[in-house]
Amino acid sequence: MRDSHRRLLDWIESDKERSIGLLQEFTRIDTSNPPGDTRAGASFLCRILDRERLDYNIVAPRESMPNVIAAFDCGSPGRHLILNGHIDVFPAGDMRRWSRDPWCGDLVDGRVFGRGTVDMKCGTCASLLTYAYLHRLRHELKGRLTLTLVSDEETGGHWGARYLLENCADQVMGDCVLNAEPSSPHTIRFGEKSTLWLTFRVKTPGGHGAYPHLSASATKIAARLIGDLEQLESLRPQAPDEVDRILESPGIGAAVDRALGLGGADVARRLTINIGTVHGGVKANMLPGDCVIEADIRLPIGLDWERVMVAVNAILKNYPEVSLDPPPGHTMNATWCDPEHEMVRIMQDNVQSLRGFRPPAIVSLGGTDCRFWRAKGVPAYVYGPSPEGMGKPNESVSIDEFLHVVNTHVLSAYDYLNR
């Protein structure tokens, strides 16, 4: 192992307890989105930067959703690397399903418990620590390192990463992005499926349940529509040859299943639809006159959302009682970047040195803010902890994986800025 790597790893090891404490303290701050008020979480991260005497500025297009940007120039000219993590997390949901307070930050059996530990307070802490460690060595590096700690990731990024790229591009564009969203230590994400959120509204006269001859039932219509929407899963993508070649390589399917769960390799390459909510009816003996369906459609690389909308509208021709809200303005197609980029090889080399295996490059099922950089031509890669438990009650992250992610990001960012 190179002396520079050994020095960095020694620093991380000596600070291990403090880093774990950082993750615990961050977890104890409720930054759930919705409602999306991340001011307390952002203030906490800024206090850490203050403690390290690291300058930063706050960009808050919405007062309750601040974004933190920190940057430093290295000792000589070179490339610009962006570190990206988000502050907001999923809501805790039904508190009765948690055996611990979702904001406890408890350390039990080698795991930190709490909402957002996996997605992505572990990764955001790793990005902040990477920035702080490399600042110590800035004079021996080349280029520029920027840290972006953003809000609003869980609800589309309009006031977070997307806003920064549209309004502060001179600060955050860069040559490459490194992100620590959950991915599994066994894979690197070079692309991700996109999200198409659709809201269907069923409207009928409604009435008394004993008089079904006078009005159709909005909930029955909704049920039939849900069944027909399953037809969308038959749409087949036309992925670029480079993506197909990587995803069809020997062993990739098994690696994807290991990282994403059995069946993940199949799901990564096809459209899926989830009916997230159904709201309709007033009471059992009344014919529902209204029903609202919210659908979450995940699009693989090579399947444009415009093509899906053609199929959706064809289905709706059979449902005159149904109206469709316009797709959200932030709707995007699936994004990807070079799966054989230098950063991929750097991370693979470092994981090989640290853990003895080389994580392959795959496509993610869930979305990240990396899509905004990829859409503007900036390669962006994800390497983080296992996604198991993400968004569930009793969410927790392994301390072993947390420290491994820190080690990998610190060494990889150092290597990228040292060439």
Mean pLDDT of 97-122: 98
Mean pLDDT of 32-42: 97
Tokens standing for residue 403:
């420290």
Transcribe 310-350 into DSSP letters: HHHHHHHTT-TTEEEPPPPTT----EE--TT-HHHHHHHHH
Gap between the Cα atoms of 209 and 217, Å rounded: 9
Tell me which amino acid residue 119 is. Answer: D
Give me the torsion for CA of 92, 94, 96, 102, rounded to 10°. Answer: 0
CATH code of the domain made up of 3-192+334-416: 3.40.630.10
126 φ/ψ angles, rounded to the nearest 5 degrees: -60, -40
pLDDT digits (tens, 9 = 90+) for 320-333: 999 999 988 778 99
Residue 356: the pLDDT is: 97
Q: Does residue 1 surpass a pLDDT of 80?
A: no
Nearest residue to 129 via CA among 147, 109, 154, 115: 147
Nearest residue to 116 via CA among 42, 26, 17: 26
Mean pLDDT of the chain: 96
Q: Does residue 229 surpass a pLDDT of 80?
A: yes
Residue 252: the pLDDT is: 87
CB 144, CB 73: distance < 8 Å: yes
What distance separates the 2 farthest-apart alpha carbons in the chain? 81
pTM of the model: 0.92
Mean pLDDT of 119-126: 98
Q: Does residue 62 surpass a pLDDT of 80?
A: yes
Per the model's pLDDT, the better-predicted residue between 356 and 328 turns out to be 356
pLDDT digits (tens, 9 = 90+) for 154-197: 998 999 999 999 999 999 999 999 999 999 999 999 999 999 99
- The CATH fold assigned to 194-235+271-324 is Alpha-Beta Plaits (3.30.70)
pLDDT digits (tens, 9 = 90+) for 3-36: 899 999 999 999 999 999 999 999 999 999 999 9
Q: Does residue 334 surpass a pLDDT of 90?
A: yes
| Helix (H) or strand (E) segment spanning residue 147 | strand 142-150
Residue 67: the pLDDT is: 98
Residue 2: the pLDDT is: 83
Residue 234: the pLDDT is: 97
303 φ/ψ angles, rounded to the nearest 5 degrees: -125, 105
Q: Where do the domains of the chain lie?
A: 3-192+334-416, 194-235+271-324
CB 333, CB 305: distance < 8 Å: yes
Gap between the Cα atoms of 206 and 192, Å rounded: 42
Nearest residue to 304 via CA among 280, 327, 325: 327
Q: Give me the helices (H) in 150-263, please.
A: 161-167, 169-172, 218-229, 241-247, 252-260
In the three-class reduction of DSSP (H, G, I as helix; E, B as strand; rest coil), residue 233 is classed as helix
Per the model's pLDDT, the better-predicted residue between 328 and 140 turns out to be 140
Side-chain half-sphere of 277: how many Cα atoms within 13 Å?
10
Gap between the Cα atoms of 268 and 248, Å rounded: 12
